Amino acid sequence: MLRLGSVALGERPCVALALRDGAPAGAVRAALDAGVDILEFRIDLFENQAPAAVRAELKRWEGTSRIATVRMTAEGGGWRGGEAERLALYRAALECAEAVDVELAADAILDDVIAAAHDQGRLVLGSHHDFRETPPPDRLAAIADKGRGHGVDIIKVAAHCRNAGDVQTLARFLLNTAFEDMVVIGMGAAGLCTRIFFPLLGSRITYTFLGEATAPGQLTCEATLRYLEAFQVGAADSDVGCDSAGGI
């Protein structure tokens, strides 16, 4: 079982809170106290992207489980610099973060990020984001094969869902792919349900936010925790019904 810092991935659904720099400490602490497991630092959205500033921001939350992400614009991120500079930011973040998220399409730096992370005993999420559609099964399989071939620890796929058929395609991909540690997310209104139910099917992490969403269809932190708790309790107690629980 993989561990992302103090968090064992796979024991139960885990919640990651996406943050920009300068997030209010009180609000972040309240989210952690309420049940958030992981902090994802969206460095591509930071106001100050200097390596020293990035390290300082991550160090504010030493003792929590942290993912560092520098998302490129082609996959919905805010990074507008070059790949050499992006690699330098990943290296700086790895001094503090327990994991990094890098796109599988980032061919210029992918292997360097993976090597740098593994040299320090950190995890790598190899991610793919499609904001237009849900890729067909053969393309999803190719994405998983690429992640496996490059040696990432977690394969993450987030794709836009237009209808229930797209949700079913992603569910089959999650359940049938021969790779234990995966994160699969359906974006957009039709995919909203995946943010709660896919973690119950084995998707390792679901994402939420403070202030402004970082992806289409994200639920608020409060709603994410409330729904996960409700459905986990219901799944664990087959005797729970409307009368005993008072309805949901």
DSSP state of 48: -
Report the distance separating Cα 241 and Cα 43, nearest Å. 44
- In angstroms, the CA 11 to CA 58 distance is 26
Taking the C-alpha atoms of residue 133 and residue 127, their distance in angstroms, rounded to an integer, is 16
Rounded to whole angstroms, the Cα distance separating 94 from 110 reads: 14
Is 56:27 a contact under the CB 8 Å cutoff? no
Q: Is 59 noted as a catalytic residue in this protein? A: no
CA distance 40 to 218: 14
Among candidates 197, 204, 226, 51, which has minimal Cα distance to 127? 204
**Among candidate residues 170, 205, 172, the one with its CA nearest the CA of residue 191:** 170
CA distance 49 to 56: 11
Based on the residue annotation, tell me whether 146 is a catalytic residue of this protein: no
Tell me phi and psi for residue 202, to 5 degrees.
Answer: 120, -5
From the candidates 146, 150, 156, 160, give the one annotated as an active-site residue. 156
* Of 59, 128, 129, 150, catalytic: 129
Biggest CA pair distance of the chain: 60
What is d(CA 211, CA 25) in angstroms, rounded to the nearest whole number? 13
Helix pair 83-93, 110-119: axis angle to 10 deg: 10
Residues labelled as active-site residues: 129, 156
